[in-house]
Amino acid sequence: MINLILITGFLGTGKTTLLKQLLKKFKDEKIGVIINEFGQINIDGTLIENNGILMKELNNGSIFCSCIKENFLSSLIALSEEDINYLFIEASGLADPASMPQILAAIEARTKVKYNYIGSICIVDAETFLDYYDMLLALHQQIAYSGAIIINKVDLVKDSKLANIIEKIKSINTIAVLDVSTYCQVDIHKLTNELKVIRRPKQESSNTIESRPKTITLTSEKVLPLNDLRKLMDNLKEYSYRIKGFADTDDGVIYISGVKNHIEIQPWEGSFDKTKIVIISAVGIKMVSLITKALNGVLKQKININL
């Protein structure tokens, strides 16, 4: 039997940070990981130290959407034949996990070892949750189908806002274990022991090809001026759900992580191929126009735009 834990949460909430802690907690177990991203390039996979972990990357859509759902099913079936006893799935930021039980039931006859679905852990960004909740059905679904919910980045909000977030969450899900944190620093042992599967009426995922966000990838073979790159990210952050990636700059290789109006740029000493920056936005055409205008004004023709 393979124990399966799903990690959900909006873009930039801290899913990869939590996954790292889970991998550390279960380091003595045989582990498989599926990392799912909207873009064609998987940034989060680079952030995970492999160390013998069996990892699959599913890109360019949500695993619950028809666009790559077959790849997800095939990956689950293939991993059931591997010598693992835990599988962690980091879903994309706008994943709607309502159909997870149906997916496992659909492949049960085709798997070598049965999956034991322990439950879903949802991470909420305390700073941005209330801004996006009414706009995005997936955020409601992530909370509704989670057995444990972590309100992360609580250091960035006032107590009154945190109270509003907790009230909103409890209006959706009164069963899930609820915790608050910064940098997803929680009691992992307690979290996984108390995790449960939320049983609700059968429902298909709301993830569709039409509802998927727009993803744009910036690539470059050249060394970029760091100050100009900062200006570019500042120009784009207001219209982006998420910005993340790696860049080769005149100040060394950096990792970029942005959510809403926050952009963090840190030195990167891990593996690196070339500059790859993924931008996820609801305003695809407008974003391309903004990027083109910003590039002309800041980095000229040093970066390629890939849709």
What pLDDT sits at residue 271?
82
What pLDDT sits at residue 270?
85
* pLDDT tens-place string over residues 124-148: 999 999 988 887 889 999 999 999 9
Say yes or no to pLDDT of 41 above 70.
no
Residue 234 confidence class, pLDDT cut points 50, 70, 90: confident
Name which residue leads in pLDDT, 250 or 300: 250
What pLDDT sits at residue 285?
60
| CB atoms near residue 174 (< 10 Å) | 8
* CATH architecture designation of domain 214-306: 2-Layer Sandwich (3.30)
Residue 58 confidence class, pLDDT cut points 50, 70, 90: very high
Say yes or no to pLDDT of 230 above 80.
yes
What's the rounded Cα separation, in Å, for the pair 21 and 86?
14
Residues of the chain with pLDDT > 70: what percent?
90
Kindly list the domain boundaries of the chain, sorted by start residue: 2-194, 214-306
Say yes or no to pLDDT of 103 above 70.
yes
What pLDDT sits at residue 295?
73
* pLDDT tens-place string over residues 66-88: 888 899 999 999 999 999 999 99
* pLDDT tens-place string over residues 286-301: 677 777 777 776 676 6
Residues of the chain with pLDDT > 90: what percent?
60
* pLDDT tens-place string over residues 157-213: 999 999 999 999 999 999 999 999 999 999 999 999 999 999 888 777 777 666 667
Say yes or no to pLDDT of 150 above 80.
yes
What pLDDT sits at residue 46?
63
- The CATH number of the structural domain formed by 2-194 is 3.40.50.300
Helix axes 226-236, 284-297, angle to 10 degrees: 150
